[in-house]
Amino acid sequence: MRHIISILLENQNGALSRVVGLFSQRGYNIETISAGPTEDPSISRITIVTESEGVEIEHISKQIHKLINVIKVSILDENPEGAVEREILFVKVQAMSRAVRDELKSLCDIFKAQIVDVTPELYVLQYVNTSAEIMRFLEVIAKQADVIETVRSGVCGIARGEHALHL
Amino acid sequence: MTMMSGAQMLVRSLEDLGVKHLFGYPGGAVLDIFDALLDSKQIERIICRHEQGAAHMADGYARATGKVGCCLVTSGPGATNTVTAIATAYMDSIPMVVITGQVGTPLIGSDAFQEVDTVGITRPIVKHSYLCQSALDIPKFLREAFYLAASGRPGPVVVDVPKDCVNPKKLFEYPPMQEVKMRSYNPTRLGHRGQVRRAAKILAEAKRPVMLIGGGVVLGNAEIKVRALAEKFNLPVTSTLMGLGAFPGTDRHFLGMLGMHGTYEANEAMDKSDLVFAIGVRFDDRITNTVSKFCPTAKIIHIDVDPASISKTVMADLPIVGDADAVLGQFFDAIDELKLERNDAALDAWWQQIDKWRAVNCLKYKTDDELLKPQQVIEAVYAATGGKAIVATDVGQHQMFTALFYPFSEPRKLLTSGGLGTMGYGFPAAIGAKVGCPDACVCLITGDGSFQMNIQELSTCLEFNIPVKIFILDNHTLGMVRQWQRMFYQGRISSTNLNYNPDFVAVAKAYGHEGIFVEKPSELKAAVEKALAMKDKLVVVDVLCDTDEKVLPMQQFGGSMGDMFLAD
């Protein structure tokens, strides 16, 4: 089952590597990971998407919490009110003919994606949505144009409602 | 205002943290620290012959004294040589601080001479680690390191100190000692009150209970309350290797060690119990045998300070997170409040059953007039030391024989690498214990394989006058591996013969110590007594033992707790 783990930790040397290392050391998988500082620069926040079966997610959560730098851990999808998750996709596509350009523009309008870079031969499209929607968008785009490269930010998530991860 | 260099602050911090003994080995990156150590009146340096030895010494010191062990080594190979010892301490939750030198901060990442990513290499085997970026990090990180090492579930902490941070020419104001507070680290001490009350009721109602104790009872200094609880509810008690001594080995409640080489009565009692009351254990695979067949009729109450240890392998029916001693204190409160009494009728029947298992006498073995059995050596050491010695072991058959035939009656008397199973651990650990407890009789029980893995520390013992007694159960083989080859590999003996051993007595003498060779059973008692009588001498007693003796009982793979091979 897919889980989204949110981790609040000290913004210190090596803190991220301890979290990542824990996953490989204990045989857990990381599907996506994103990290950055919070409104308090001494604290970082990491969002990890993982696949795990049964009670394993509890072990993962306990092991992360055991890391000395980690302040709080939350499994976002266990929040009764659910969670919001988003990812950013950039996709560079070949856009030479008028027909392709028009088609890409109209798909971007439908999906509420943006064209963020244009050359005579290329478009860079930006799309923000859930991982599942990003996959759908990518499939649709790939049918209309040649994809040169893609990059995804990894999931960034936050709980809906009252639940919050802070000090 | 006291102005100090980073090196001086390092030494002063260790002094303020109460360090009296520092194990270590000098080198380029720690020259300034060793220089500053010359001026310390408080800290005695014990210099090993290989850094693995220094870190195991700190570990043995910590296990024997309960204090944080500390060692100091140089960068690069100095640091990597401690890795096995750090992993050993990590697996057994031993409080230890390892200070490693590092190349100067401008050189980090440049593949400089004797540079290695110490924090990276040790990351999976430490409780926590620090890389100092400036001199003022040193006192801060050391204080945190000692606090982390000793609190909660203890463990090793590495503090990596780049050379420019200890530059003697740069002076700083030494920050006064303060209580360590970390917002991201608050170990749970007291258990959940409701859970404790529920558990106490289950314990009082149990008809076939077993108390299972582990290293957490030793580390948490909970032995007095464990004993009181066992007496209050007339509980049979069994122990993991790491818990031995936390309950008196000669007490009638004690069933012996459990697990792969546990006693018949301990494993059978676990298998047939209706309640396993577990304190400070982690249910590792040497305890449970096949997890799916583990104690099928038992409820599991699991007390541990580390929430990640609970329901990791064996699902707990009733988990309690907290410090062993504090939680047991809460148990007595709950027992009084709820006026719980033991169920004597059920317990009497349970003890009758246990006594039948005991009557099997699973530790019996055959003696021979010409050739010593390893069990006899342990029994002789037990008799001659009155069971009072601190005993370090290495890993293998001799380790299991020690666990089974030397009934420890106090915690912190058995020093053994339980989790990692590190051959070469015992000798330096014994040295550390003797340094920490100079008045105690410290014995090493080792094998001819294990002893050669850190034999160089004989030189350390001469330099620092550390008179440990060494008993080599010399069977000219890696006994435990050979046992498996004989039992599970059709007797195909592959690479386990040790036919090129040195003359251990001559080795001892070459290093300036005493040595005694024991060839016949008739010589054993006198030799052990003679060795122990030479109080100020390190004595190596090389005892020729039966190559083919097996450690039994032994659990059968794929079976339950109670499925065991027994001696004929």
Q: What is the pLDDT of residues A131-157, one digit of tens each?
A: 999 999 999 999 999 999 999 999 999
Give the percent of chain A with pLDDT over 70. 100
Structure letter (DSSP) for residue B320: E
For chain B, how many helices (H) and strands (E)?
22, 22
Query: Which residues neighbour B365 within 8 Å (Cβ) at sequence distance 6 or greater?
Result: B373, B375, B549, B567
Q: Is it the case that residue B1 has pLDDT exceeding 80? A: no
Q: Hey, are the CB atoms on A14 and B185 less than 8 Å from each other?
A: no
At residue A126, the pLDDT reads 98
Q: What is the pLDDT of residues B57-73, one digit of tens each?
A: 999 999 999 999 999 99
Nearest CA to B169 out of B67, B36, B359 is that of B36
B413-433 mean pLDDT: 98
* B136, amino acid identity: L
Q: Hey, are the CB atoms on B129 and A14 less than 8 Å from each other?
A: yes
Cα angle B237, B239, B244; round to 5: 120
Instruction: Confirm whether B57 is a catalytic residue.
Output: no
At residue B232, the pLDDT reads 96
* Cα–Cα distance, B416 to B241 (Å, whole number): 8
Q: What is the ipTM of this complex?
A: 0.94
Q: Which residues of chain A have pLDDT under 70?
A: none
Question: DSSP for B184-201?
Answer: T-----SPPHHHHHHHHH
Confidence tier at B467 by pLDDT (50, 70, 90): very high
Q: Hey, are the CB atoms on A14 and B312 less than 8 Å from each other?
A: no
Nearest CA to B376 out of B528, B167, B493, B176 is that of B528
Confidence tier at B568 by pLDDT (50, 70, 90): confident
At residue B267, the pLDDT reads 98
**Looking at CA atoms only, how far is residue B312 from chain A in angstroms?**
7
For chain A, how many helices (H) and strands (E)?
4, 9
At residue A63, the pLDDT reads 97
* Cα–Cα distance, A158 to A6 (Å, whole number): 8
Q: Is it the case that residue B221 has pLDDT exceeding 90? A: yes
Instruction: Confirm whether B487 is a catalytic residue.
Output: no
Give the percent of chain B with pLDDT over 70. 100
Confidence tier at B2 by pLDDT (50, 70, 90): confident
Q: What is the pLDDT of residues B67-99, one digit of tens each?
A: 999 999 999 999 999 999 999 999 999 999 999
Confidence tier at B238 by pLDDT (50, 70, 90): very high
Of B120, B127, B131, the CB nearest to A68: B127
Nearest CA to A119 out of A140, A142, A91, A92 is that of A92
**Looking at CA atoms only, how far is residue B307 from chain A in angstroms?**
7
State whether the Cα torsion B32-B36-B42-B48 is positive or negative: positive
At residue B427, the pLDDT reads 98
Cα angle B546, B552, B554; round to 5: 140
> What phi and psi, each to the nearest 5 degrees, are found at residue B386?
60, 20
CB neighbourhood size of B111 (10 A): 8
Is the separation of the CB atoms in B471 and B93 below 8 Å?
no
Q: Is it the case that residue B492 has pLDDT exceeding 80? A: yes
Q: Which residue has the tokens 């064209």?
A: A115
At residue A167, the pLDDT reads 85
Interface with A, mutate which of B184, B315, B321 (most A CBs under 10 A): B184
* Cα–Cα distance, A60 to B424 (Å, whole number): 33
Q: What is the pLDDT of residues B516-565, one digit of tens each?
A: 999 999 999 999 999 999 999 999 999 999 999 999 999 999 999 999 99
At residue A54, the pLDDT reads 86
* Cα–Cα distance, B64 to B47 (Å, whole number): 19
Q: Hey, are the CB atoms on B307 and A69 less than 8 Å from each other?
A: no
* B162, amino acid identity: P
Give the percent of chain B with pLDDT over 90. 99
Minimal-distance CA residue of chain B relative to A7: B184
Q: What is the pLDDT of residues B283-342, one digit of tens each?
A: 999 999 999 999 999 999 999 999 999 999 999 999 999 999 999 999 999 999 999 999
At residue A47, the pLDDT reads 98
At residue A13, the pLDDT reads 87
Q: Which residue has the tokens 């994809």?
A: A147
Question: Whole-number mean pLDDT of chain B?
Answer: 97
Query: Residues of B at the A interface (Cβ-Cβ below 8 Å)?
Result: 119-120, 123-124, 127-129, 131, 133, 148, 182-185, 306-308, 311-312, 315
